[in-house]
């Protein structure tokens, strides 16, 4: 029942790269994998879930530190409500802001596609739409994230 597989299979099933998985183990967001007799890392379905979660979150601009917090919520079900509440509320706001900005981008893209009737496009308002002081004000950017790198995004 509890199917086991190696790192290459895990990489395939989560659409990530083998060195990335080893890197996640090294920095502690993935657990230290149990080794088979031949020293190879063995994984199960739970590892797919965890890795999927990490990859989705990274693709959306969450840092590995953010992700560590979120994973902690899941890893330690005996957190107090205050802790959960703080992390979850923080992230909820973060998520909602991202959705708001993405929705503006979405509308602008749709407008651009819609406007394309075979002639040349006379004016592209995407920057104005997104960087406009008024809009920026409305979205009320507040807090800040940390460093990333080389996201192979699952979200396209």
Partner DNA sequence: TCTTGCTCCTACAGTTACTATAGCATGTAT
Partner DNA sequence: ATACATGCTATAGTAACTGTAGGAGCAAGA
Residue (of 97, 57, 96) closest to 73 by Cα position: 57
Among a copy of itself, DNA, none, residue 17 binds (CB under 5-8 Å by kind): DNA
Of 134, 136, 137, 109, nearest to 124 (Cα)?
Answer: 109
**Which of the residues 9 through 28 are near a copy of itself (CB under 8 A)?**
15
Task: Tell me the site size for a copy of itself, rule CB under 8 A.
Answer: 79
**Contacted entry of DNA, a copy of itself, none for residue 2, CB cut-off 5 to 8 Å set by kind:** none
Site residues for DNA, 125-154, by CB under 7 A, read 146-152
Nearer to a copy of itself, 12 or 49 (CB): 49
CA distance 74 to 87: 12
Q: Which is nearer to a copy of itself, 36 or 92 (CB)?
A: 92
Q: Are 58 and 147 in contact (CB under 8 A)?
A: no
- What's the min distance (Å) between Cβ of 31 and a copy of itself? 13
The site partner of 30 among a copy of itself, DNA, none (C-beta below 5 to 8 Å per kind) is none
Alpha-carbon torsion (89, 135, 105, 16), positive or negative: negative
- With binding defined as CB under 8 A, does residue 2 bind a copy of itself? no
68 is a contact residue toward a copy of itself (CB under 8 A): no
- 5-6 β-sheet, strand order: 5-6, 41-43, 34-35
Q: Site mask, a copy of itself, residues 71-110, x = CB under 8 A?
A: x-xx--xxxxx--xx--xx-xxxxxxxxx-xxx-xx--xx
Q: Does 52 bind DNA (CB under 7 A)?
A: no
Buried b (16+ CB within 10 A) or exposed e, 23-58: ebeeeebbeebeeeeeeebebeeebeebbebbbebb
């Amino acid at each position: 029942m509890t199917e086991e597989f190696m790192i290459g299979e895990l990489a395939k099933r989560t659409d990530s790269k083998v060195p990335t998985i080893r890197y996640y183990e090294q920095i502690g967001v993935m657990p230290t994998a149990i080794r088979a007799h031949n020293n190879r890392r063995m994984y199960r379905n739970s590892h797919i879930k965890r890795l999927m979660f990490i990859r989705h979150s990274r693709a959306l601009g969450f840092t590995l530190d953010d992700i560590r917090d979120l994973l902690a919520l899941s890893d330690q079900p005996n957190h107090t409500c205050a802790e959960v509440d703080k992390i979850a509320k923080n992230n909820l706001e973060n998520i909602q802001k991202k959705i708001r900005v993405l929705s503006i981008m979405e509308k602008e893209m749709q407008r651009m596609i819609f406007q394309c009737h075979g002639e040349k496009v006379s004016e592209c308002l995407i920057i104005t739409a997104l960087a406009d002081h008024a809009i920026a004000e409305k979205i009320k950017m507040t807090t800040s994230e940390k460093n990333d790198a080389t996201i192979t995004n699952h979200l396209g």
